[in-house]
């Protein structure tokens, strides 16, 4: 275990706020804070930020104002003085399949920058961040890793499943979620679902607040963050609307103040071993490909050496054990009901697959926090035994080959098979591909290649949830593969490979693929091969011209100018030492 930072003295409990608020010359700063609720004695307490991602933009975050108030009470009840502030959030569930989705990954960077900006500007001695949607969670962690002030992450919690009310459908009463809606669109296009049933699915899928309810990106990242040690035990597996979640927030507020007292900082926790624990947990849960991107980005912010090849190394020995949506059967709230991810983590620890000596925000090691965890109830079917896994190695497959010399990321659960050989059908951008899938142009045996969607080219690396769901909805899940320099939603499944690097915009081989080219995706050998002779590819490369940028102003242009490749986490985090 990495040594803890030295324990601070009483005056060191306010390392940043004292310079901002103490002494006669800082009277103006104090004057500004009385109207927001400060009393004279509060200026002697550590100043703790509560970064709230509350917003009515999306159900994922619509309840977070209440959670922020609980966290504020936890800080104030443990000798700190809390200030609640907001950052932005966007919703992938709403913007997926639309031009607006190009802002999604960008929002991760904006959120990290905005939290850093407020915490830095307002002299906060520590903070907690409450996130409930895909990008605000890694965004918060990037800020924590960069700033290295005592900090705890709180997950906003998972949504409950919707119940379909469609009396004339055989699916009446079925549990559904947001991915059910995306897939119903494909089924509707295939004539398998009526207008009325599509409308019923649309109306019933989201019953209230909380993050998308399968092991999609939000629940995957919440689990990864808990395994990193940056949230309190069990924070990742609570329903958004529950007493447990409110209590988690209150305890997290208190925990930040305790971190200050104990001298614990995020980089004491965010070690290479902690990232290995996160990768292991995500694999066992069958989590999202976005975890590859986000964990690389957080590690870079923490100055921890981590590469996509670490996912391969760890993935060879860690099995997939969770039967959770999208590839599996159950919702996150079903996992919450049997004990969340802690019993699974205990199993992994006992099998030597987790590092027990990693520090957590509690001040205890991971092994200490797991010591009293009881096994799942007998007869449960969600988490498979270690010796009877769903898949004996990782579903997150890092591919290399002449189509992806710098790597690509696939989500191969085995249900789709382990090898796909087909003919390319190429699209510049997601929309054209979606139309071709829905109108029947895409047929069995095709490898759908969607390019121009990389971090720089899109820009913003859109998620291909609409095309992958349409493929599923059309019943082509076993017969069509999809390849992109964009990325996937945690809700995507099927034979899909994304994050292809170098991306098309910078002249990567994916830019050279033509309709009809043979492509072989081999998940056992982890190879991605464009079966075109090297001489022909060299000829195509010579004829290739760099496309004009899609955006020349604003935040998308700024992102495109700075972003690294997907294999490096697609970050805009400048490190002038590098």
Q: Which residues bind ligand FES (CB under 6 A)?
A: 58, 60, 91-93, 133-134, 211-212, 218
Residue number, 133 or 497, with CB nearest to ligand FES = 133
> Is 489 annotated as catalytic?
yes
Q: Please, is 6 exposed, middle or buried when counting C-beta atoms within 10 Å of its C-beta (0-12, 13-18, 19+)?
A: exposed
Closest separation in Å from C-beta 206 to ligand FES: 10
Q: Which is nearer to ligand FES, 87 or 567 (CB)?
A: 87
Give min distance, CB of 136 to ligand FES, in A. 9
- How far apart, in whole angstroms, are the C-alpha atoms of residue 4 and residue 18? 23
Q: Are 489 and 463 contacting, i.e. CB atoms less than 8 angstroms apart?
A: yes
Residue placing its CB nearer to ligand FES in the complex, 58 or 107? 58
Q: Which is nearer to ligand FES, 205 or 211 (CB)?
A: 211
Cβ proximity to ligand FES: between 179 and 383 the closer is: 179
Cα distance between residue 403 and residue 527, in whole Å: 9
Q: At what angle do helices 308-315 and 272-284 cross, to 10 degrees?
A: 60
**How near is the Cβ of 308 to ligand FES at its closest, in Å?**
24
Going 189 to 192 to 196 to 202, the CA torsion angle's sign is negative
CA dihedral sign of residues 57, 58, 61, 63: positive
Cα distances (Å, whole numbers) of residue 370 to 206, 270, 284, 341: 33, 18, 17, 11
Task: Tell me which of 180, 394, 489, 492 is the catalytic residue.
Answer: 489
Rounded CA gap, 112 and 64, in Å?
Answer: 18
Residue 490 CB, nearest approach to ligand FES (Å): 8
DSSP 239-303: BSSSHHHHHHHHHHHHHHHHHHHHT--HHHH--HHHHHHHHHHHHHTT--THHHHHHHHHHHHTT
CB of 58 to ligand FES, least distance (A): 5
Q: Is the dihedral of CA 458, 106, 496, 161 positive or negative?
A: negative
Nearer residue to ligand FES within complex by CB, 95 or 312: 95
**333: which residues sit within 8 A by CB, 6+ positions away?**
158, 159, 160, 161, 213, 239
Q: Give me 26's structure tokens.
A: 């800082």
Polymer length of the chain = 578
**Cα(75)–Cα(66) distance, integer angstroms:** 15
Q: How far apart are CA 572 and CA 146, in angstroms?
A: 13
CB of 177 to ligand FES, least distance (A): 9
* Beta carbon nearer to ligand FES, 56 or 387: 56
Minimum distance from residue 225 beta carbon to ligand FES (Å): 14
To ligand FES, the closest distance from the beta carbon of 486 in angstroms equals: 17
Nearest to 81, CA basis, from 40, 112, 121, 116:
40
Report yes or no: 470 and 434 within 8 Å, Cβ to Cβ.
yes
Least separation, in Å, of the C-beta of 391 and ligand FES? 24
- Which is closer to ligand FES, CB of 91 or CB of 281? 91
Q: Hey, which residues does 425 pair with through a beta bridge?
A: 448
Nearest to ligand FES of 211, 471 (CB atom): 211
Which residue intervals of 399-444 are DSSP H helices? 430-438
The sign of the torsion formed by the CA atoms of 552, 436, 96, 332 equals negative
DSSP 80-111: -EEEEEE-----HHHHTTSGGGGGHHHHHHHH
Whole-angstrom Cα distance, residue 496 to residue 417? 11
Active site residues: 489
């Amino acid at each position: 275990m990495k040594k803890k930072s030295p324990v601070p003295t009483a005056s060191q409990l306010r390392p940043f706020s004292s310079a901002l608020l103490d002494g006669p010359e800082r009277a103006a700063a104090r004057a500004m804070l009385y109207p927001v609720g400060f009393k004279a004695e509060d200026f002697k307490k550590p100043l703790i930020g509560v970064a709230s991602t509350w917003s009515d933009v999306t159900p994922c975050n619509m309840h977070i104002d209440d959670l922020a108030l609980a966290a504020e009470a936890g800080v104030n009840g443990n000798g700190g003085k809390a200030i609640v502030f907001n950052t932005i959030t966007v919703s992938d569930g709403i913007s997926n399949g639309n031009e607006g989705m190009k802002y999604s990954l960008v929002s991760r960077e904006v959120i990290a920058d905005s939290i850093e900006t407020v915490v830095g500007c307002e002299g906060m001695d520590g903070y907690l961040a409450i996130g409930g949607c895909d990008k605000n969670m890694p965004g918060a962690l990037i800020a924590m890793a960069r700033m290295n002030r005592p900090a705890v992450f709180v997950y906003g919690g998972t949504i409950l499943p919707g119940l379909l009310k469609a009396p004339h459908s055989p699916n009446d009463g079925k549990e559904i979620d947001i991915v059910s809606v995306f897939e119903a669109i494909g089924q509707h296009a295939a004539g398998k679902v009526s207008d009325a049933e599509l409308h019923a699915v649309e109306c019933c899928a989201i019953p209230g607040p909380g993050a998308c309810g399968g092991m999609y990106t939000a629940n995957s990242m919440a689990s990864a963050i808990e395994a990193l040690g940056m949230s309190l035990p069990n924070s990742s597996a609570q329903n958004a609307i529950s007493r447990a979640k409110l209590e988690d927030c209150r305890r997290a507020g208190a925990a930040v103040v305790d971190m200050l007292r104990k001298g614990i900082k995020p980089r004491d926790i965010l070690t290479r071993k902690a990232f290995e624990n996160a990768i292991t947990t995500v694999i066992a849960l069958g989590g999202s490909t976005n975890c590859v991107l986000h964990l690389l980005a957080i590690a870079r912010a923490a100055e921890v050496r981590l590469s996509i090849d670490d996912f391969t190394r760890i993935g060879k020995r860690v099995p997939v054990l969770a039967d959770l949506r999208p590839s599996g059967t159950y919702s996150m709230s079903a996992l919450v009901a049997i004990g969340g991810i802690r019993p699974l983590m205990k199993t992994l620890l006992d099998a030597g697959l987790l590092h027990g000596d990693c520090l957590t925000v509690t001040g205890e090691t991971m092994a200490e926090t797991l010591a009293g965890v009881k096994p799942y109830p007998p007869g449960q079917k969600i988490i498979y035994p270690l010796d009877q896994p769903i898949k004996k190695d990782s579903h997150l497959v890092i591919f290399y080959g002449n189509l992806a010399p710098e790597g690509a990321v696939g989500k191969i659960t085995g249900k789709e098979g382990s090898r796909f050989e087909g003919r390319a059908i190429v699209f510049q951008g997601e929309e054209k591909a979606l139309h071709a899938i829905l109108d029947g142009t895409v047929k069995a045996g095709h490898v759908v290649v969607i390019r121009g969607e990389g971090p720089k080219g899109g820009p913003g690396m859109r998620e291909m949830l609409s095309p992958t769901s349409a493929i599923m909805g059309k019943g082509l899940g076993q017969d069509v593969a999809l390849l992109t320099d964009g990325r996937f939603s945690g809700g995507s499944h099927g034979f899909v490979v994304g994050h292809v690097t170098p991306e098309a915009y910078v002249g990567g081989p994916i830019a050279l693929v033509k309709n009809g080219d043979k492509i072989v995706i081999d998940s056992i050998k982890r190879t991605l091969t464009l079966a075109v002779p090297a001489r022909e590819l060299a000829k195509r490369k010579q004829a290739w011209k760099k496309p004009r940028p899609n955006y020349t102003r604003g935040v998308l242009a700024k992102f495109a100018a700075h972003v690294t490749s997907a294999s490096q986490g697609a970050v805009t985090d400048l490190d002038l030492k590098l």
